[in-house]
Structure 1
């Protein structure tokens, strides 16, 4: 697929607010950030690569509703970063009663995160553990950084506007700049996190955030981007990881492909599925081997 330059104001993938055309660091809510769907994000790039442009476009036009599964991560982010939605304790033993359902619905309608008593205590314990961690506590030191800043910049080869939302923007200081991103996880064991990097595309996120910081003059080539990964069960172990050079190169190549696809689809207005051609398919290798021995 050839690279296509898209000028500012070209056909956007979905309706939204007035487009941002000036690269910069913006202070906006998480909801406002996600409404700028004409600008390609890291998660959008991953969807284009791993699914199809049609899936990407559908999700842009039909934003996902809030899911209960996101509550612990969102609440932990709020306590770690000191910024985000209100945490609302819905203190009922059961949440299937009329009164509990009403409070949960009210909290969601007001943009708060409703939590059960055990969940409320859980996320506070997670934040306490992080504040005692020798590295993570320094990376998210409230005296040396600002939470949740939205970065917008234009990709030079394609003209596509890109966006990224940093969990934490460190204050300028002497020495190597380290930009952290907070993740909750099932296991913070390094060997398990290798699989998570691939499954969730953290290497693409790494490249996206590095590209944003370089484009806006926040960081030079020596800057580090790290993931602070914390388990969601006691003792809430934390592992700080940095994606290696090989993974970063692959993440950058995947992002470049996604940008070219996004530019082409935006210019043509056509968002295809997996393929428009007849696709030859075979049996899975194990089935072919099994049936070849049995029947051929």
Structure 2
């Protein structure tokens, strides 16, 4: 297995499949002339999203939100790549002077953090490095952070893209691609609910498909999630999706690709439906109220 990484400067469009070393801003702006589809975009095309919502958000990128700062900062320390972290030495960001510091930092592409938040993400990174499996998966001597994959979908012709948190160096044996996520709870039962809520089973299939399409891995490649709690003691759980979950994720991705191709061809990005919808109460509400009132 040979990996070739191409560097894109942002001044020239990407026209060929490959592994690219580009910034997060270039990736999210979509470096492909005519457009491409990412894993998050594929998930947005399907319920509870819809093509109209996908198109709206693609045309109107949202600015960074404070709620994502901890996750972004933790990524920076764990992966070694990402925006600079700036400690704002004020517990409250209410004064004009402090607000100006925060605004200036964000304008420069930095992540401003309160003192407690700065210490928090440092402690999270330290805890992850003490986790035997997680530390090995993100070993800086055995891989590269934030690598972008570009490839063509054979069935639809759609250009697909993915941004790997970590691309391991080529070596003998099964390739294991890790993805780092912060979470409220690393309890496996809670994480199972997060898989469905955030579509992690689709991300699993999407990223493995990209690695296989570019000959970075064969069909035995694994995609694992490294999930870390954002509160002390910053527990870590590493998990891999099971077979049925991966098959469902693959089927959903296939449908999303078909929808994307159809919408691109027609220029029509429908909403949730053009007909009058027929709805029922959730089963648990019907059971409760039937017993009490009927």
Fold shared, TM-score > 0.5 on shorter chain: yes
The 1:285/1:126 distance shift into structure 2, 3 A limit, reads closer
Tell me if the contact between 1:53 and 1:273 (Cα under 8 Å) persists in the aligned partners.
Answer: yes
Tell me if the contact between 1:46 and 1:201 (Cα under 8 Å) persists in the aligned partners.
Answer: yes
Equivalent residue, structure 2, for 1:49: 46
Distance 2:124 2:284 in 1: 44
User: Under a length normalisation based on structure 1, what TM-score does the superposition of the two structures give?
Assistant: 0.90
Equivalent residue, structure 1, for 2:16: 22
Query: Cα RMSD (Å) of the superposition?
Result: 1.8
Equivalent residue, structure 2, for 1:36: 30
User: Under a length normalisation based on structure 2, what TM-score does the superposition of the two structures give?
Assistant: 0.91
Distance 2:93 2:226 in 1: 32
Equivalent residues in 2 for 1:166-185 (5 A)? 166-185=164-183
Number of residues paired by the alignment? 280
Equivalent residues in 2 for 1:145-294 (5 A)? 145-285=143-283, 290=289, 294=293
Distance 1:286 1:191 in 2: 22
Tell me if the contact between 1:17 and 1:36 (Cα under 8 Å) persists in the aligned partners.
Answer: no
Equivalent residue, structure 2, for 1:105: 103
The 1:118/1:269 distance shift into structure 2, 3 A limit, reads same
SS of residue matched to 1:33: helix
SS of residue matched to 2:46: helix
Distance 2:199 2:43 in 1: 7
SS of residue matched to 2:132: coil
The 1:284/1:153 distance shift into structure 2, 3 A limit, reads same
The 1:249/1:17 distance shift into structure 2, 3 A limit, reads farther
Distance 1:144 1:284 in 2: 49
Q: CA deviation at 1:284?
A: 4.4
Structure with more contact order per residue of length (Cα contacts < 8 Å, sep ≥ 6): 1
Consecutive unaligned residues of structure 2, counting only runs of 5 or more, are 1-9
Equivalent residue, structure 1, for 2:83: 85
Q: CA deviation at 1:21?
A: 2.8
The 1:286/1:180 distance shift into structure 2, 3 A limit, reads closer
Q: CA deviation at 1:94?
A: 1.6
Q: CA deviation at 1:291?
A: 6.5
Consecutive unaligned residues of structure 1, counting only runs of 5 or more, are 1-15
The 1:138/1:267 distance shift into structure 2, 3 A limit, reads same
SS of residue matched to 2:83: coil
